[in-house]
Amino acid sequence: MKLKGLTKAVARLDGERLDINLEALFIEFESQRLELDKIAGTKGGYRYFFLCPRCQKRCRVLYKREIAYYCRMCQGIHKQTLNRSKTDCQYYWELALKEARKIDPYFTPKRGGYMFDGFPERPKYMRINTYLKHYRRFQKYVAKGDSLWLKGF
């Protein structure tokens, strides 16, 4: 719509009527009216945001649960990622593998799984301090994962 300079449009999405009106700042979809807000863009024009029907905050994405669209805070979606368990040994082994892959993107443990039997050698172009930083983190994550594994987590 921006490229063609349109401010109103009507279309069908998943068999439902979609009515967009950027002048009056609303979208109607699935018999729900979603209000919009706009702010000035940095290079002219405007940037459009949804207004959450429940909390009235600006957001880029609205999520649908059951019959209504709301922001992630109102839907409680943020809690799924923030409250993950850090008492699992695999969480720390994944972090260790991620540190090793910062040195060598194709690194895999030789014995498979999380059986870390070494760390990749320092690339010729990498500073020794950078390499040692990643190595220390790798050792810390492996030790933490191993200790949790031995405790039975």
pLDDT tens track for 94-123 = 899 999 999 999 988 887 777 788 899 999
Look at residues 100, 110, 107, 92 and name the one whose alpha carbon lies nearest to residue 133: 100
d(CA 98, CA 102): 6
Listed in sequence order, the DSSP H helices in 32-121 are 72-75, 78-82, 89-103
| Torsional class of 63: left (φ above 0), alpha (ψ -120 to 50), beta (otherwise) | beta
75's CB contacts (< 8 A; 6+ apart) are 63, 65
| Assigned token pair, 134 | 């990643």
Judge if pTM exceeds 0.75. no
The predicted model gives 14-18 an average pLDDT of: 86
